[in-house]
Structure 1
Amino acid sequence: MDAPVLYADLNLAETQGLRSTSPPPLPQDVCHESGWHRVALKLSCAGLIFLLMGLSVVVGLLVQKSSIEKCSVATQENRTEPTGRPAILECPRDWHLHWDKCLFISQTSRPWAEGLTDCSLRGASLLLIRDGEELRLLQDFSRGKGQQFYIGLKYVQVDKVWKWMNVSILNTNLLKITGKDEENSCALISHTEVFSDSCSSDNHWICQKMLNRV
């Protein structure tokens, strides 16, 4: 009967020995390695954030530049027709681009009425000046040519006013006509002034038409 009792005691001792065994401690290097992994992960995240911020700034600048380029539209740039196709606006050959107008400078000198007829045959009219800024630009143009030109402005004796060829009355705040206000007086532009002369005098003239859609 003693042998079975002894076997039971030994089995219990082995079981307790197994339960009391604790796992071996992790090496110290492993703990340090985990800490460096966390630091590296944080640095990577921070770098990624800065990279995304930089990309967003670059994209924003590119979009802003594109918007500015689209807003700075030239008069002669392509425009879109109702059909959606681009339409090119340009002046005919031998005409000069001036804002949204095409200007033709006569090569001969004739009376004002002949200049009016010549412009009409070209599908145009004698020059009409809209504002002071356009007047200054045309005077600079006249200075470059070294000539004076008939424009679409004539004195109407019946009404005692200067009228443009579109029948509108001259705004004297826009420009002053030097010289006589009398019958058969027509206006010319030079690099210094707008003045009256006899409509029968021979002078060059300027025709204008709007840009053609090609």
Structure 2
Amino acid sequence: MTARDSGFVINYTGDTSNFNEDLSNSLKAAESSNDYLKFSMSSLSCTANGTDGNLNIDVGATYLTTAQQEAYVNAVVTRALVSIITPGMTDFQKEKAIHTWVIKTVSYDYTLANHSAYAALVAPHKTACQGYSLLMYKMLRQAGITTRIVSGTLNGEAHAWNKVNIGGNWYNVDATNDDGANTTRFYNVTDSVLRQHGFAW
């Protein structure tokens, strides 16, 4: 799926009475291990046929980006990190450099037509909150910083942002909302601060 395969087949040889639970658990495990993949998927479908102990599961998936577009994202992210990360930087300094680079490079897509990191990195460099958090995730991970993507709401509207773990502590980072005013209002804030501003998850 990381290679943007549109379809593949899984052969299931277990007890079919456990099939739904096993499939659900497998998909959840895959999602929880890779937020970038999870939030880059547009749809996922599964159909099964066969007999007890020998099921063929046809999995179909669509994505926000192609494999070629992801290769471009990876190349741009690598170049950007080389230019903004210097030897001896702490994780906090790396995170700040990435946050600053993202909000200076990307603009919010008010049409809500673009949701990918790729859209953020090609002209006119516009994406929605999902794209901001995907790009932050990709850059932070490549810089060696543990991060997750949070899917929730802001004032009742769907919204996505990041959490980072530095020094054993989790912080919230919302590059989307920091971008408009070019600030750090929602940079490394606690859950309680987000809730005070209408975030929910």
TM-score where L is the length of structure 2: 0.26
Greater per-residue strand proportion? 2
Structure with the greater relative contact order (CA < 8 A, sep ≥ 6): 1 or 2? 1
- Structure possessing the higher radius of gyration over alpha carbons: 1
